């Protein structure tokens, strides 16, 4: 079967690879096939089904959990993508931070640790950290390595072309164009700005992903094996690409309040990107009409949801079977199918 995928970000590439594995004649179209414009380039790569599901659209939780289960094998097949399953330590600095965190930890059924128990797990934490909770099933990957591996897997099947109208395309079409999906389909996908920093220092300062709040400033710290620490991310309902003094200040202030040893790290990169958000901030996965399937709007969870999205969309295209898991995510919930 011939299938066109519009969009060469992490979702479009994962779908393309899955279709290729199942012997479909797939082509992925992207205006910049080797580019760095996608949300994946900015993403830290936390695979955090618990941390990202709290109090969200409730149907999201089983989808996040199902994709998290697929990640170990998906990473294994792709090769070195920085997969690390050390887990996430969530922490709170002040009494107010702890009051907010307790609700999330209870929702995730995590045990609250004292500050010193949290420091036993992660000695670089500030002595001011009041409490923590450890999520052992959360993981991380390096999204830039994931995309490079997916591009290699699709060698020769990624074509440079800017699709501006779906009527240009023949046959089955999958639209996985992130924020660009809105203009192609009319679906309500908005840009949610995120500023993010990459610090660089001696490897080993942090052993886990650290996710937390310091005086109301939320931050996550994602340590890579080579000494990079990704510090993310602002979440702003804006479409501009400005890197702002306030955004960088808040990220660094929270990072250094929680892990003072990061002050010796070099600032290696500051970047801005946009998450594709929907009205309920859950993805859109399903048929728009007889010919077009949409897989977009993954907001904060594009990296985590790539394997399950690829599997569900490939099932839909090749067998016509819609897994009940996607019932809650169809374009029809916004009156668009």
What are the residues binding ligand GLY (CB under 6 A)?
A: 46, 194, 232-233, 275, 300
Q: Which helix (H) or strand (E) holds 13?
A: helix 10-21
Which is it for strands 217-223 and 228-232: parallel, antiparallel or unpaired? antiparallel
**CB closer to ligand GLY, 8 vs 194:** 194
**CB closer to ligand GLY, 129 vs 196:** 196
**CB closer to ligand GLY, 185 vs 281:** 281
C-alpha span between 290 and 306 (Å, rounded): 23
CB of 233 to ligand GLY, least distance (A): 4
| Dihedral of alpha carbons 315, 320, 321, 323, sign | positive
**CB closer to ligand GLY, 178 vs 194:** 194
Q: Which residues share a beta bridge with 267?
A: 199
Token pair recorded at residue 85: 């399953």
| Dihedral of alpha carbons 296, 298, 302, 308, sign | negative
**CB closer to ligand GLY, 94 vs 271:** 271
The angle subtended at Cα 306 by Cα 49 and Cα 241, nearest 5°, is 90
CB of 302 to ligand GLY, least distance (A): 8
**What residue is closest to ligand GLY based on CB?**
300
**CB closer to ligand GLY, 27 vs 281:** 281
Q: Which helix (H) or strand (E) holds 46?
A: strand 46-47
**CB closer to ligand GLY, 65 vs 337:** 65
Nearest-10 crossing angle of helices 302-319, 143-153: 30
C-alpha span between 127 and 125 (Å, rounded): 6
- The answer to whether the beta carbons of residues 261 and 205 sit under 8 Å apart is yes
**Coil, strand or helix at 39:** helix
Q: Which residues share a beta bridge with 28?
A: 5, 158
What single DSSP character describes residue 92?
E
C-alpha span between 313 and 271 (Å, rounded): 31
**CB closer to ligand GLY, 51 vs 115:** 51
**CB closer to ligand GLY, 27 vs 140:** 140
CB of 234 to ligand GLY, least distance (A): 8
CA distances from 178 to 190, 212, 325 (A): 10, 27, 21
CB atoms within 10 A of CB 2: 10
C-alpha span between 102 and 283 (Å, rounded): 27
C-alpha span between 249 and 192 (Å, rounded): 19
CB of 231 to ligand GLY, least distance (A): 11
């Amino acid at each position: 079967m011939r299938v066109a995928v519009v969009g060469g970000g992490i979702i479009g590439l994962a779908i393309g690879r899955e279709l290729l594995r199942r012997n479909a004649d797939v082509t992925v179209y992207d205006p910049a096939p080797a580019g760095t414009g996608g949300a994946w380039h900015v993403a830290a790569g936390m695979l955090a089904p618990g941390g990202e599901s709290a109090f969200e659209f409730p149907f999201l939780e089983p989808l996040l959990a199902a994709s998290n289960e697929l990640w170990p094998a998906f990473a294994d097949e792709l090769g070195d993508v920085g997969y690390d399953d050390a887990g996430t330590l969530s922490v709170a600095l002040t009494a107010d931070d702890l009051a907010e965190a307790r609700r999330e930890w209870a929702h995730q059924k995590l045990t609250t640790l004292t500050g010193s128990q949290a420091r036993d797990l992660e000695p670089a934490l500030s002595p001011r950290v009041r409490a923590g909770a450890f999520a052992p099933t959360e993981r991380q990957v390096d999204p830039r390595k994931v995309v490079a591996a997916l591009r290699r897997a699709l060698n020769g099947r990624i074509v440079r072309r800017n699709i501006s109208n779906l009527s240009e395309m023949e046959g089955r079409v999958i639209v996985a164009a992130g924020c660009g999906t809105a203009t192609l389909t009319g679906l309500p996908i908005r840009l949610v700005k995120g500023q993010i920093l990459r610090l660089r220092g001696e490897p080993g300062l942090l052993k886990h992903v650290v996710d937390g709040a310091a005086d109301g400033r939320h931050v996550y710290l994602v340590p890579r094996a080579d000494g990079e620490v990704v510090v993310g991310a602002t979440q702003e309902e804006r479409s501009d690409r400005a890197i702002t003094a306030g955004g960088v200040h808040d990220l660094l202030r929270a990072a250094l309040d929680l892990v003072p040893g990061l002050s010796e790290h070099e600032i290696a990169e500051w970047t801005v990107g946009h998450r594709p958000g929907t009205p309920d901030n859950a993805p859109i996965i399903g048929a728009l009409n007889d010919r077009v399937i949409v897989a977009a709007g993954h907001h904060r969870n594009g990296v985590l949801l790539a394997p399950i999205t690829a599997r569900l969309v490939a099932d839909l295209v090749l067998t016509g079977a819609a897994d009940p898991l996607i019932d809650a995510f169809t374009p029809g919930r916004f009156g668009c199918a």
